[in-house]
Every structure is written in structure tokens, then in C-alpha cells.
């Protein structure tokens, strides 16, 4: 069945009946195989309020537990929704709420920050506390662009504050993957393409094996000069297929294909699920640390019949709210997301099979990459 026919059906109100269909993204990037819905009957509606902003998803994926800073984060993030509808009252209410929490619950927020980072954290809290009344003044002018910029500046500080709360790597990676690169933290990759630049945040806290493999290959220069593979202009675009007969990375030390397992972290679980899709595990509609909710999700490509056959090939997901409703889409748990494009959405929109990766470089977080010889899991 052609994809266009499937998408036409998905866009109809009755689409909920087939939302359990499976997308199989082959390593070649050209073959998509749709199978019938699973026997599990799904009748719930899509989560229309699911988070679709990649920077917000990355904040919530940090391994921290501080209810108060999450409340401040939510108050500031919600301004984006209210701003679209020019709802000035709710914007002011959220700003007042955030200011109140920072003032009254300051000690509870700082309690999650290690002692050595406390001075920096206090400075950041002071900065945020000063930024909020400044933004309240901007709201009075109803300048949408200025409000948006002010909101972003506050969220940038919240991100820094939350990152200071992280105390080490959150789990032990299974020993069977000790021979694979591991990203024990986060890294930022700058990718130059023939259409412009993409900035990718790779999240090793949630996908250390998939993220470590990608960062390792970036550092090796593996992706430099490789072509993009077009699957569907409005859906995904794939890259990482090396020239020649091989479909993935051949480790020069072993001469063997480096196989990377599917790796999906369900929120609340102690470590990611490896080796099988969530559907194969009988897990349906879970809340994931790294979902396909955002335009520009970066995920491991693999053969349609092998969850553990991925290697160098990856794809950018061009999120579509109607085809893959946030919080209830066709991809979560069937492929593993390991990061998001946080800058360059307009570049990603233009990329086709006629384009190429000129170069990819790790610009931050390279110290978080652990190569096999250094793995101590």
C-alpha cells in the first residue's frame, strides 16, 4: 500500500481505528512497510496537550527530581501557548506564580543542587527572579516578539539551573553493551549541510548507547560528505549510509559491523528497554523520556525486522501533528530517539535527497563520551 493512501486515511476522523499501525523504516531509507494494527484495541484519544518543543522535552528528560523548579519551568513554558492566543491575563498569572515559587521555595530548589554548585545556582535564581518582572513589563506592551525572547532567556537560565542538579549518571548500562561507545551525559553536535546548519543535542542520560554511537561516529568524521536519503519529504529524512556495499559502520578494530540495539527509556523506569520494541514487550502508550513529539527528533534507523540491527544510519523525524499525534503516535517505542534538533528547523525543512552532510562536529560534551576501552559499566 502506498504511503499517500495511508496518510489520507490517517487524516480522517476515523483514523483512531488504525493508529496502531506500524512504520518500518529500513536501513536503505527507501522502504517503508506498514503492517496491520496489533490485536490490542486502542480507543483513547491523542494527547493534544503533549509537549512538542524539543528544548522542553530535553529539560524534562534530565534525571532530576525537584517539583518546585519543574513548576517554575511549566509556568514559563506555558506562556508560549497563551501568547499564540494573545491571552495576556494567563501570561501574567503564570509569571506571578513562577516568581512566588522562586521566592517562597528557594531553599527547596537549592536543596537539589550539589554543594559545590550552590553559589552558581543562587546567582541563576537571582537572575531569573530579576527577569520575571522585566518580562511582566514587556507583557504590558503586548509585544509578542519581545515576550517570546524574554521567555526564552528565562528558560535558558532554568535549563542551566536544572543541569546543575544532575548528580552523575543515573543508571548502570547492561554489561552486554560494554563494548559499545557510551555517552554518559549530553553532547551538542553542529552539522553543516548543503542547506545550512543544524544544532543537535544528543541525550546520553536517556539513550547512552544510541547517543554514544552517534557521537563517536561524528568524532571519527564518519558522516562528513555523506548524502541524505529521502524517504518522505514531509515525514522523515535519513542519512548515514556509507559508500559501497556496507549499510553501516565497520569497526576498524574488529572488522565487523557495529550493531546498535534499540534503546527506549520509559519515564519512571530505572533504565532503558533494550533488545525489543515496546510493542513486542507488550507495553502500549507509555510516557517516554525522549518521544517523537518534536519536529527534528533524531533517531536510530534499523532494518524493519531487526530492532538490534541499527548502526550508522539515523533519521530526522519531521513531526506532523495529524499523522502522528503528540503523545500517541506511530513511532514511539518502535525506534529509539537519541536527541533533537534545537536550532535549524528551517534548514531541516528544506533538506532532500539532493543534499549532503558537509561535516559534523561535536562542539560540547565530548568529555561525556566513553569509548569501549574506557567503559567501566
Are 86 and 180 part of one and the same domain?
Answer: no
Q: How many structural domains is the chain composed of?
A: 2
Q: Which three cell numbers stand for residue 44?
A: 483513547
- Does one domain contain both 292 and 143? no
Compute the distance between CA of residue 338 and CA of residue 274 in angstroms, rounded to an integer: 14
* Residue 212, all three cell numbers: 554514544
Closest among 184, 174, 188 to 206, alpha carbons compared: 184
The pLDDT score that the predictor gives to residue 233 is: 55
Q: Which three cell numbers stand for residue 13?
A: 476522523
Looking at the domain assignment, is residue 334 inside a domain?
yes
Q: Which CATH number belongs to the domain containing residue 275 in this structure?
A: 2.40.100.10
Cell of 65: 527530581
Q: Are residues 212 and 277 in the same domain?
A: yes
Indicate if the pLDDT at residue 308 is higher than 60: yes
pLDDT given at position 286:
87
In a domain, 367, yes or no: yes
pLDDT of residue 234: 66
The answer on 222 and 203 residing in a single domain is: yes
**Does residue 302 form part of some domain?**
yes
Name residue, grid cell 484519544.
45
Question: Which residues does residue 273 pair with via DSSP β-bridges, in sequence order?
Answer: 264
Task: Please tell me whether residues 205 and 151 are part of one structural domain.
Answer: no
Contact predicate 314/300, CB 8 Å: yes
Phi-psi region of 365 (alpha: psi -120 to 50; beta: other; left: phi over 0): left
Which pLDDT does position 321 carry in this prediction?
Answer: 61
Cell of 72: 517554575
In a domain, 346, yes or no: yes
User: How do beta strands 337-343 and 263-264 pair?
Assistant: unpaired
Helix or strand or coil: residue 186?
strand
Residue 50 confidence (pLDDT): 80
- What per-residue confidence (pLDDT) applies to 235? 81
Same domain, 148 and 207: no
C-alpha closest to that of 365 among 185, 166, 158, 182: 185
Q: Looking at the structure, tell me whether residues 110 and 221 fall in a common domain.
A: no
User: Does residue 306 sit within a domain?
Assistant: yes
Query: Does one domain contain both 206 and 303?
Result: yes
Question: What is residue 4's predicted lDDT score, i.e. its pLDDT?
Answer: 29
For the chain, the average pLDDT equals 86
Residue 148 CB: number of other CB atoms within 10 A? 14
335 and 190 share one domain: yes
220 and 103, same structural domain? no
What's the whole-number mean pLDDT along residues 184-203?
Answer: 98
Question: pLDDT tens digits, residue range 129-182?
Answer: 999 999 999 999 999 999 999 999 999 999 999 999 999 999 999 999 999 999
**247 and 151, same structural domain?**
no
Q: Classify residue 43: in a domain, yes or no.
A: no
* Chosen domain end from 134, 164, 194: 164
72-76, 93-97, 244-248, 261-265, range with the lowest pLDDT:
244-248
Sequence-ordered alpha helix ranges (H) in the chain: 3-10, 54-61, 67-77, 79-84, 88-104, 106-110, 118-141, 144-164, 208-220, 345-350
- The DSSP code for 86 is T
| The domain boundary residue, chosen from 164, 191, 226 | 164
Instruction: Evaluate whether residue 52 is within a structural domain.
Output: no
Q: Which three cell numbers stand for residue 255?
A: 572488522
Q: Are residues 215 and 347 in the same domain?
A: yes
In a domain, 51, yes or no: no
pLDDT at position 89 is 96
pLDDT in tens, 315-374: 999 876 655 566 666 789 999 999 999 999 999 999 999 999 999 999 999 999 999 874
Mean pLDDT of 83-97: 96
138, 164, 190 - which closes a domain: 164
| Domain that includes residue 264, residue range | 175-374
CB-CB contact of 328 with 46 (8 Å): yes
Task: Give the CATH number of the domain where residue 86 resides.
Answer: 1.20.120.290
For 210-261, give the DSSP string: HHHHHHHHHHHTTTTTPBEEEEETTTEEEE---SSS-SS-B-TTT-SB--B-
Amino acid at each position: 500500500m502506498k504511503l499517500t493512501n495511508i496518510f489520507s486515511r490517517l487524516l480522517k476522523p476515523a483514523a483512531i481505528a488504525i493508529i496502531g499501525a506500524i512504520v518500518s523504516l529500513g536501513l536503505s531509507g527507501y522502504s517503508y512497510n506498514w503492517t496491520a494494527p496489533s490485536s490490542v484495541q486502542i480507543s483513547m484519544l491523542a494527547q493534544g496537550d503533549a509537549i512538542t518543543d524539543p528544548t522542553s522535552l530535553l529539560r524534562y528528560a534530565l534525571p532530576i527530581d525537584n517539583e518546585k523548579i519543574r513548576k517554575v519551568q511549566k509556568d514559563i513554558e506555558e506562556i508560549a501557548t497563551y501568547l499564540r492566543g494573545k491571552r495576556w491575563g494567563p501570561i501574567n498569572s503564570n509569571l506571578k506564580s513562577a516568581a512566588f515559587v522562586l521566592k517562597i521555595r528557594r531553599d527547596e530548589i537549592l536543596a537539589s543542587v550539589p554543594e559545590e554548585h550552590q553559589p552558581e545556582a543562587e546567582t541563576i535564581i537571582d537572575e531569573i527572579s530579576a527577569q520575571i518582572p522585566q518580562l511582566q513589563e514587556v507583557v504590558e506592551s503586548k509585544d509578542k516578539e519581545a515576550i517570546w525572547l524574554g521567555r526564552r532567556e528565562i528558560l535558558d537560565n532554568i535549563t542551566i539551573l536544572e543541569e546543575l542538579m544532575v548528580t552523575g549518571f543515573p543508571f548502570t548500562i547492561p554489561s552486554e553493551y560494554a563494548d559499545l561507545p557510551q555517552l554518559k551525559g549530553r553532547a551538542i553536535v553542529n552539522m553543516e549541510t548543503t542547506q545550512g546548519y543544524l544544532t543537535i543535542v544528543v541525550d546520553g542520560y536517556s539513550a547512552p548507547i544510541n547517543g554514544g554511537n552517534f557521537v563517536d561516529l561524528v568524532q571519527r568524521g564518519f558522516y562528513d560528505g555523506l548524502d541524505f536519503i529521502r524517504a518522505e519529504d514531509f515525514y522523515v529524512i535519513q542519512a548515514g549510509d556509507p559508500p559501497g556495499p556496507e549499510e553501516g559502520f565497520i569497526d576498524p578494530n574488529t572488522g565487523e559491523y557495529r550493531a546498535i540495539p534499540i534503546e527506549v527509556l520509559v519515564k519512571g523506569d530505572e533504565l532503558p528497554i533494550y533488545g525489543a520494541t515496546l510493542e513486542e514487550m507488550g507495553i502500549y502508550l507509555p510516557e517516554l523520556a525522549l518521544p517523537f513529539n518534536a519536529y527534528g527528533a533524531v533517531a536510530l534507523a534499523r532494518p524493519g525486522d531487526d530492532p538490534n540491527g541499527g548502526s550508522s544510519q539515523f533519521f530526522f523525524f519531521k513531526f506532523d501533528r495529524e499523522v502522528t499525534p503528540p503523545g500517541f503516535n506511530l513511532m514511539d517505542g518502535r525506534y529509539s530517539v537519541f536527541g533533537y534538533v534545537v536550532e535549524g528547523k528551517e534548514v531541516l525543512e528544506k533538506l532532500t535527497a539532493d543534499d549532503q552532510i558537509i561535516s559534523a562536529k561535536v562542539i560540547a560534551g565530548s568529555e561525556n563520551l566513553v569509548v569501549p576501552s574506557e567503559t567501566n559499566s
